């Protein structure tokens, strides 16, 4: 039995949401099928793959299964005119934006090889991002009842800025979806939605580059995320 889980890392580069969705769901289906084919064995007693996908999407809004379409403030015609895609999907959470300068991460993990605790899984994803933001000298944290990662902006109209959104889905303990980390993301796109359905005027959306004061080296950022992910999840990226 392998004591340290191995995770296959793939950087998909720039990819449209539908293509990435089809790819991650195909991997997810393979992993679930593998579990079903080996149901008579204990987790770890048969070969099972895990994946961490990095991707950057062209502009797209996605709406989680618990979200409200009212939180999308553009009509279908306006979306088309601006070249923005829209997808209702099966993750948790409300509406969010994916686009240029944002690091989207899709961990597709068999949690029976890690831990069987959904709450801990989400907290671990948050912990990865808290550590990454901290590596740039910025304090990030959780806010009770608001999934994701936040920074404090005491001199702004909205005191708290969400720097990373998280939404997940699990089937037979295999994870799907993940995080959207605003690195060099143009924030104007968020004006067309009620981000994550949050209407509190004290909370807004921000990016690492805005808080850092300059554009962030994207490739260097990816390396830091990989390093922190391996540490928090106690796994080996291969």
Query: What is the pTM for the complete model shown?
Result: 0.95
Domains contained in the chain, number: 1
Residue 207 vs residues 19, 86, 174, 183: alpha-carbon distances, Å:
25, 22, 29, 5
Residue pair 181/164 in contact by the 8 Å Cβ criterion: yes
Percent of the chain surpassing pLDDT 70? 99
Range of the domain at 29: 6-237
Q: Is residue 101 part of a domain?
A: yes
Q: Is residue 121 part of a domain?
A: yes
Q: How far is it, in rounded angstroms, from Cα 162 to Cα 140?
A: 9
Question: Which of 60, 57, 33 has the alpha carbon at shortest distance from 193?
Answer: 60
- Choice among 120-124, 150-154, 169-173, 196-200 with the minimum mean pLDDT: 196-200
Question: What is the average per-residue pLDDT within 228-232?
Answer: 98
| DSSP state for residue 193 in the 8-state scheme | B
* Residue 178 β-bridge partners: 167
Q: What is the pLDDT of residues 105-153, one digit of tens each?
A: 999 999 999 999 999 999 999 999 999 999 999 999 999 999 999 999 9
Tokens representing 173?
A: 């303990």
Active-site pick, 34, 164, 196, 235:
196
pLDDT band at 155 (very low <50, low <70, confident <90, very high): confident
- What CATH number did the domain enclosing 108 receive? 3.30.930.10
Q: Is residue 135 part of a domain?
A: yes
Q: What share of the chain is helix, strand, coil (3-state, %, to 5)?
A: 35, 30, 35
Q: Is residue 19 part of a domain?
A: yes
Q: How far is it, in rounded angstroms, from Cα 38 to Cα 159?
A: 50
pLDDT of residue 1: 46
Question: What is the average per-residue pLDDT within 76-92?
Answer: 90
Tell me, yes or no, if 196 is annotated catalytic: yes
Q: What is the pLDDT of residues 33-71, one digit of tens each?
A: 999 999 999 999 999 999 999 999 999 999 888 889 999
Q: Is residue 1 part of a domain?
A: no
Q: Is residue 153 part of a domain?
A: yes
Q: Is residue 37 part of a domain?
A: yes
Q: Is residue 82 part of a domain?
A: yes
Q: How far is it, in rounded angstroms, from Cα 168 to Cα 175?
A: 7
């Amino acid at each position: 039995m392998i004591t340290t889980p191995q995770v296959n890392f793939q950087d998909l580069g720039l990819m449209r949401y539908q293509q990435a969705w089809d790819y991650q769901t195909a991997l997810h289906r393979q992993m679930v099928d593998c579990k079903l084919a080996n149901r008579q064995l204990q987790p770890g007693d048969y070969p099972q793959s895990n994946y961490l996908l990095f991707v950057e999407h062209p502009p797209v809004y996605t709406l989680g299964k618990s979200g409200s379409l009212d939180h999308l403030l553009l009509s279908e015609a306006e979306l088309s005119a601006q070249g923005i895609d829209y997808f209702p999907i099966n993750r948790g959470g409300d509406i969010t934006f994916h686009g240029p300068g944002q690091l989207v991460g899709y961990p597709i993990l068999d949690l029976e090889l890690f831990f069987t605790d959904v709450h801990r899984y989400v907290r671990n994803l948050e912990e990865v991002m808290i550590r990454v933001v901290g590596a740039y000298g910025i304090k990030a944290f959780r806010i009770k009842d608001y999934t994701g990662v936040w920074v404090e902006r005491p001199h702004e109209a909205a005191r708290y800025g969400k720097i990373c959104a998280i939404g997940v889905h699990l089937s037979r303990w295999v994870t799907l979806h993940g995080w959207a980390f605003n690195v060099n993301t143009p924030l104007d796109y968020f004006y067309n939605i009620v981000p994550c359905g949050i209407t509190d005027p004290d909370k807004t959306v921000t990016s690492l580059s805005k808080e850092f004061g300059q554009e962030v080296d994207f490739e260097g950022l990816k390396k830091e995320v990989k390093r922190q992910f391996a540490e928090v999840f106690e796994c080996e990226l291969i």
